[in-house]
Amino acid sequence: MTDLEASGVTIYSTCRSSIGYHEQHHLRRLREIAGWVEDAGYRGALIYSDNTSIDSLMAAHAAIANTDRFVPLVAVQPIDLSPFALARAVSSLAHLYGRRIDINFVSGGFSRDLAVQGDTASHDARYRRLTEYATVVKELLTGGMVNFAGEYYNLRRARLSAPVPPDLLPTGYVSGSSPACLQAGEALGVPQLSFPLPPEEHVDPDVPKNKFGRGISVGIIARADSAEAWRIAYQRFPADPEGAARMKLLVSAGVSSWQPQLASVPIPDEAPGQTYWLVPFRYHHTFCPYLVGSHDEVARALTTYLDGGIRTFVLDIPREPDDLWNARIAIERAVAAMDDPARARSGQSSSAHAAELA
């Protein structure tokens, strides 16, 4: 458990897994990012699952084999493998390495990927299927004999020969922001992961909240100086008309509710004093919003998310180790503000490395 996890806050980063991105260096890059994440004291990193990516469980295996404490947060789509196959893979990694993986249960994906596999289920039906899927996985992992008769899955006297030790059971999440996702998360007793709207919208008392918790996928570019953070942000994510056109096409053809939500947020590309930044999403550089600014500016935005009940942060793919350390400074200051506002204003950090960067 990391220092931040002791306070109830969990941080993951993200590992790149798309096929075609410098293929000859794929394993090296995976190992490199996993090492950065472990050194920075994060719990682990998200590993995507889609038709253009390395198999997420294979990537998780490689990451575990080359780290000591790193926990892969593996995205799992029910149409890719059976619940028994997933439970057996989790058990195998636990018994081979004495290590755990966490699971991000994903209901859908890109429309083209669903079409390729002949998946024509509606949005809400996919969450019903996901609920059954995750229920079966959880029952198998705890070692019981599973008899399950549902709309999508039927198992009879199914049992893992090697149940997962209790201390290596995965932490589970369900991915999405729709009412159907909320219902699935509460039925399963797990938190939701979604892409965040501006911070102030998460503290609105009328926003439905999963009673088992929530997390967000967000990029963070934080530095000691706000101007330096924005210099890096503009350099990495320039306005690109072709990228904007690709994103509009993706949103129009999408099957998820979060993409239209983000696309409709009325925040200009240039907004002085605004930490929440949508340019990386709008111009198809990545799929999440960013928080950009000084450590304290980003910490204030993060504090608002924490006030709204967010306790898990999945950060975008880092370009360099300093991205992770500087983001941690901001998160630590936000967490400190929950219990001790004076400490947060003083900018204290529990990490020696972070103190050096600050």
pLDDT band at 298 (very low <50, low <70, confident <90, very high): very high
The number of distinct structural domains making up the chain is: 1
Q: Is the pLDDT of residue 341 over 80?
A: no
Whether 255 and 108 have beta carbons less than 8 Å apart is answered as yes
227, part of any domain: yes
Cα separation of 43 and 49, whole Å?
A: 19
Instruction: For residue range 284-297, list pLDDT tens digits in order.
Output: 888 899 999 999 99
| Predicted local distance difference test score (pLDDT) of residue 24 | 61
42, part of any domain: no
127, part of any domain: no
End-to-end CA distance of the chain: 24
251, part of any domain: yes
Cα separation of 224 and 139, whole Å?
A: 47
Q: Is the pLDDT of residue 59 over 80?
A: yes
Q: What percent of the chain has pLDDT over 70?
A: 85
Domain range holding 315?
Answer: 213-358
DSSP string over 164-182: PPGGGPPPEEEE--SHHHH
Q: Buried b vs exposed e over 65-92: b needs ≥16 C-beta within 10 Å?
A: ebbeebbbbbbbbbbbbebbebbbbbbe
Q: Is the pLDDT of residue 328 over 80?
A: yes
Whether 160 and 169 have beta carbons less than 8 Å apart is answered as no
356, part of any domain: yes
Residue 278: burial class (beta carbons within 10 Å; 0-12, 13-18, 19+): buried
| Predicted local distance difference test score (pLDDT) of residue 268 | 82
DSSP string over 94-111: HHHHS---EEEEE----H
| Predicted local distance difference test score (pLDDT) of residue 21 | 56
Whether 329 and 354 have beta carbons less than 8 Å apart is answered as yes
Q: Is the pLDDT of residue 347 over 50?
A: no
232, part of any domain: yes
Pairing of strands 146-149, 154-158: antiparallel
Cα separation of 155 and 85, whole Å?
A: 13
Instruction: For residue range 77-124, list pLDDT tens digits in order.
Output: 998 899 999 999 999 999 999 999 999 999 876 666 666 766 667 888
Element (H, E) at 325: helix 321-339
| Predicted local distance difference test score (pLDDT) of residue 263 | 77
Prediction pTM value:
0.89
pLDDT band at 349 (very low <50, low <70, confident <90, very high): very low
| Predicted local distance difference test score (pLDDT) of residue 18 | 65
